[in-house]
Every structure is written in C-alpha cells, then in structure tokens.
Amino acid sequence: MVTDHNKALADESLSSVSLREITADTVLAVLRLAVAEDQKSFVATNAVSLAQALFAPEAWYRAIYLGDQPVGFVMLEDQTLRSRRHRPPKSSSGAS
C-alpha cells in the first residue's frame, strides 16, 4: 500500500487522472478508499454509495484513477438511466 502510494505520488501529472468502471477486480480497492477522519461527516463511505447505487437505476458511478492507482470515487444521478432501465423488458420477463 505504501509503495503504491509513493508510486502514485511520483506520478504528478494530472493528465493521468481518469474515470474507470469498477470491476470485480477493483471493487475492494475502491471500498478501501476513505476521506480524512474530520471529513467523514460530509460524504458517505464508498461501500454505502455502491449499496445505494444497487437500488437506484439512475446512479452513475466511476472510480477515479491517478495513473493505475484508484484514488477516488464519483457518483451522480443520470435521469436518462432511470427511464431507460425502467422500460419493462418484455422479452426477458421472469429472468432473475
């Protein structure tokens, strides 16, 4: 963890900031990210946000990367996702 941190610190360029989809391989790294102790009242933990996203079709979220290191998480509400996903999928009714 410390070496990852130093590697990312050496990578100063903000042009290496990217938004990436969270995958099964990266979700734990995203869950481990946390703000400073005195900032915790301002924002939900990533675990809570991802749990809420599971039940909110309009939630759009990405991991924030600095180079190849996950350093943050962003989530927003995209109203177009709600209408798209709420259209009843006629052909696949009954699918789990």
Partner 1 sequence: MIDARFQGRGIGRAALLLVIDQVRRRGIFKTLLLSYLPGPGCPEPFYRGLGFRPTGRMDGKEVVPRAAARSDRRRSANGSPCAVISALFAFLHFLAVFGIFAAVFLQWRTMSPAPTLVDARRIQASDRVYGMLAIVVLVVGFLRVYHFEKGKAFYAANPFFQAKLMLFLGVGLLSIYPTIRFLKWRAQTKQGLAPVLATKEYKSIVMVLRIELLLLLATALCASLMARGVGS
Structure tokens at 8: 């990312």
- Mask of contacts with partner 1, 76-95, x by CB under 8 A? x---x---------------
Question: By C-beta, is 60 or 86 nearer to partner 1?
Answer: 60
As a whole number of angstroms, the longest Cα–Cα distance in the chain is: 52
CA distance 70 to 8: 10
CA distance 25 to 12: 25
Question: By C-beta, is 35 or 51 nearer to partner 1?
Answer: 35
Give contact residues for partner 1 (rule: CB under 8 A).
5, 8, 12, 14, 17-19, 33-36, 39, 42-43, 46, 62, 64, 66, 71-74, 76, 80
